[in-house]
Structure 1
Amino acid sequence: MTEAEQSPPYGSVDRLDVSTVEKTNRPTPSNSTSGSSDSGAIKQDAKIETPNGQMTRGKMINTLIICLLQLLNFMDRYALPGILPVIIDELDLSNLQGGLLQSAFIVSYVVVAPLVGYLGDRFSRKIILIVGLTVWSLVSLAGSYMTTYSSLLALRCLGGIGEATYSAIGPAMIADMFVGDTRSNMLAMFYFMMLVGGGLGYITGSGVAAATGSWNWGLRVTPILSLISVFLIIFFLKEPARGESEGSRLVSTSWKKDIIYLLHNRSFMYSTTASVALVFVIGAVGVWGPQFVVLSRKVVFDETHTFEEISLVYGVISIVSGITAVIVGALMGMKLRVRYPPADALICGFGMLLSAPFFYGFLVAGTGPLYWIYILSFIALWFINLNWALVGDILLYVVVPTRRATAETFQIMSVHVFGDASSPFIIGLISDAFEPLIESDSEDYRKYTSLQYALLINPFIQILSASLFLVGSFYLLSDREKAKRAVANGISRQSSSN
């Protein structure tokens, strides 16, 4: 028996098609108490939380476990860029082959993620997490023992199982436990764990590899820790009821109806498409940023900075810019959306727009003083990182509870397939194509310049992302109100049937 067929703690539930509910014009608690203003409804939501959405010890433990999974996944993801130049040199790889090692996780992700999204809206999410993360941990650990390119690539292809398992379920469970500003705060913590994990990945990957003298050991830290996290899920994670924080009585509908609903949700589609462009840039700079800085030092004959040192500094930049920007972005969203309901999308759009010139400056200043490279990189990443919690929040309040895992899967799969899974090997491919065209006797100069040319596409992609976020802001208010009415009408219809 699926969870959709079981009775929630509040009583029995009639099967109700959400798409039908959204079309009803019946007065609801949300639109009868807020006047005729959608803005008033959002202001009310920003300030008031239901008892079901309050913080408890159990909910905090759940959230910490979910955030730990986010941390470990991105530690594993960015451990490889932390040692990528070493792997390229030892295995004699091209930039395209090196980029494919980072992009390979998408193979298993696109297979597993849709299944997890479907099951995550209908079956036990705790069991899905246990099975998926156990498989991912063992596969990642096995990959760390590979010594040839083909075998390493084959195991890296299975690395998407971990993120496919938790990435759709985690935010949906947070939404089931919290509402209002508390939800925004918990999402902020979830998304800055991604950035902390990425930074720690650089540090642990390069640090452990340097300490042991083997790049293989740089890939073994996170699989071991992730196996431990499986036991935390088994003994401490308590799965919340779907829509619990909002008092939702809605039940799951068919996968076809879920997808049609999402495709017609304009706020969701614009924010998803904008996020694809955002993650394309993050994936490109995350993988090739340290290598670009290393090559820039070789071009200017600066041998005082080792790759391990550069990876360490780059990791610190990623962590500090990520934590501070996610917190600031979440606070801006909570404060501004009370007066300006579309503020979340506007902050995302202007964040991407302001980041573009600094990212361009980072690339053209490559042969200048190292501190300028670090400063420009920090500012560019800071403005991009404003967006993470806000994008997650937008999805959760414009999509009804019973379709959130599917929506998370749809969004995350889109940003991976066309974003950070594509950008590393696309940048590597463009760089390899440019290298023979650059006239120089210095191989380091050719590698540096070709990589610089390839990365210069990113500022234009950032402008595209900004434009999509800003267009999406025009639909944010109405789409959020539709989701609220669907939940409210579901409750009203259930009450009348009782």
Structure 2
Amino acid sequence: MSVEFRQPEGLHGQSPGPGGPSRATDTDPPSLPAPWSLPRWRAYVAAAVLCYINLLNYMNWFIIAGVLLDVQKFFHISDSNAGLLQTVFISFLLLSAPVFGYLGDRHSRKATLSFGILLWSGAGLSSSFISPRYSWLFFLSRGLVGTGTASYSTIAPTVLGDLFVRDQRTRVLAIFYIFIPVGSGLGYVLGSAVAELTGNWRWALRIMPCLEAVALILLIMLVPDPPRGAAEKQGVATTGDPRSSWCEDVRYLWRNWSFVWSTLGVTAMAFVTGALGFWAPKFLFEARVVHGLLLPCFREPCNSQDSLIFGALTVVTGIIGVILGAETSRRYKKVNPQAEPLICAASLLAAAPCLYLALILAPTTLLASYVFLALGELLLSCNWAVVADILLSVVVPRCRGTAEALQITVGHILGDAGSPYLMGLPSAELPVLRLRHCLGWWLLPTDCAVPRERPGPSPEVWHRDP
């Protein structure tokens, strides 16, 4: 006796209605992929949890930058070595990102994310108890925090890509990537505020694990692990798809020119944001010293007002920039399929002169410097959600974890892994007057914030008018 089977139809594999012809059996054969569905409210709850964890993720990236002066005084490290803190963090992140990308494409993403949260919260907590004699151990702990955050940065966007599709995915990604600048800004604010309240910068690192424990519980209870490509395939699980090797995935991505060029753009942006985010609070602090508004800091605790100001600027401009970029992309691509790369290119080109003017005007007028710094950050933030949507649109679902990992790795190797250290070198080695004359040639192509280190500089150094 022959039996006919019918493929699931409609959204999430449901049949069009109950009036269809009856079949000899009501069950799908074992050889067919099982339909997968999730209530809409569950998908939005999962997205909210992932956004909360993304907030904590980026707070960890920049919480040290908010108390950088205190860390330097506590461990007795120079500007060049202080830049290595972020370089070590990023280096560990980029080395582990391909591993997590491979695991995320082939194994339980939920388990991998849970491991990453445990790793970065444990390393962050332990680093707050390190003695000044073991500064190398503090550097190592920052590297382990970077390893933990790599799991989240690599895998979380692919989970959202399998829960939502098209315009809905663009909006959700915009909200998700809002928490990059918001988390970065709150990292400065939390670090500097806790240091100000307690008189000990290390308490900032002891508060974060409490928030991360809540995040881990929410992840385990509320976030599903959808089948890869479920959103594009109308809820049909892809467990039956042929599994390619990691090398085959990399070859596919290497031939995907949309992915290659967007990755190079992300790399250029990472170079800028890495140096700017790490050094801007100290640059603003020393600018106020030059204007006679503050005294130089020779021992901890140092004045943290500039970290609070820069953190607030990052939060506000980040929210506006991400929403502006995502909404402009969503509307413009209805009339121009090239909208996403055009928006990214235009915002990056416009950010360059704004950041350049923010640095050049700092010794003359602080207000104008803050205005152009805010404009530059806003324009940079327009890219976060758009570049993520580009990746999810041009890469097939089975390779998205690997694609995220490769983009993170390349972006950090050539971007923010080295830019904080490179910007710290001229600050520590070059004479201030020579550095000032080099600004016009050095900062315009890189858009990097280069601080300078002088105990008690005089206004004449920057040729400030009386």
TM-score category of the 2 structures, normalised to the smaller one:
0.7 to 0.9
Partner residue, 2:226: 240
Unaligned 5+ residue runs, structure 2? Answer: 1-7, 14-27, 297-301, 449-466
Instruction: Return the alpha-carbon distance in structure 2 between the equivalents of residues 269 and 13 of structure 1.
Output: 37
Instruction: Return the alpha-carbon distance in structure 2 between the equivalents of residues 251 and 373 of structure 1.
Output: 55
Instruction: Return the alpha-carbon distance in structure 1 between the equivalents of residues 216 and 256 of structure 2.
Output: 35
TM-score, normalised by the number of residues in structure 1: 0.78
Q: Tell which structure's C-alpha radius of gyration is larger.
A: 2
Instruction: Return the alpha-carbon distance in structure 1 between the equivalents of residues 292 and 417 of structure 2.
Output: 33
Partner residue, 2:454: none
Partner residue, 1:266: 257
Instruction: Return the alpha-carbon distance in structure 2 between the equivalents of residues 417 and 394 of structure 1.
Output: 21
Partner residue, 1:170: 156
Partner residue, 1:252: 243
Is the aligned partner of 1:63 residue 2:47? yes
Instruction: Return the alpha-carbon distance in structure 1 between the equivalents of residues 418 and 437 of structure 2.
Output: 18
Partner residue, 1:120: 104
Q: Contact 1:117–1:405 (CA<8 Å) still a contact in 2? A: yes
Map residues 343-382 of structure 1 onto 2, 5 A cutoff.
Answer: 343-382=339-378
Partner residue, 2:455: none
| Cα distance, 1:362–1:53 mapped onto 2, change above 3 Å | farther
Partner residue, 2:417: 421
Deviation (angstroms), 1:221: 2.3
Is the aligned partner of 1:93 residue 2:80? no
Is the aligned partner of 1:82 residue 2:63? no
Deviations 1:185-216 (A, max 9, x none): 11101111111000000000000011111111
Deviations 1:343-401 (A, max 9, x none): 10000001000011111100111112322221110001111111110000000000000
Q: 1:201 aligned to 187, 195, 199, which one?
A: 187
RMSD, aligned α-carbons: 2.5
Deviation (angstroms), 1:105: 1.4
Unaligned 5+ residue runs, structure 1? Answer: 1-7, 16-50, 440-448, 464-498
Q: 1:461 aligned to 446, 451, 463, which one?
A: 446
Q: Contact 1:73–1:162 (CA<8 Å) still a contact in 2? A: no
Partner residue, 1:231: 217
AA matched with 2:205: L
Q: Contact 1:95–1:429 (CA<8 Å) still a contact in 2? A: yes
Partner residue, 1:475: none
Q: Contact 2:36–2:227 (CA<8 Å) still a contact in 1? A: no
Deviation (angstroms), 1:251: 4.3
Q: Contact 1:53–1:177 (CA<8 Å) still a contact in 2? A: no
Instruction: Return the alpha-carbon distance in structure 1 between the equivalents of residues 447 and 243 of structure 2.
Output: 36
| Cα distance, 1:331–1:52 mapped onto 2, change above 3 Å | farther
Deviation (angstroms), 1:431: 2.3
Q: Contact 1:95–1:432 (CA<8 Å) still a contact in 2? A: yes
AA matched with 2:278: V
Deviations 1:235-266 (A, max 9, x none): 22111111111116444311111000000100
Partner residue, 2:119: 135
Q: Percent identity between the aligned chains?
A: 35
Partner residue, 2:311: 315
Instruction: Return the alpha-carbon distance in structure 1 between the equivalents of residues 198 and 441 of structure 2.
Output: 36
Map residues 326-475 of structure 1 onto 2, 5 A cutoff.
Answer: 326-435=322-431, 438=432, 450=435, 453=438, 457-461=442-446
- Structure 1 SS opposite 2:226: coil
Q: Contact 2:119–2:144 (CA<8 Å) still a contact in 1? A: no
Instruction: Return the alpha-carbon distance in structure 1 between the equivalents of residues 440 and 191 of structure 2.
Output: 24
- Structure 2 SS opposite 1:239: coil
Partner residue, 2:293: 302
Structure with greater helix percent: 1
Partner residue, 1:221: 207
Deviation (angstroms), 1:52: 8.5
Deviations 1:137-161 (A, max 9, x none): 1111101222322221121121112
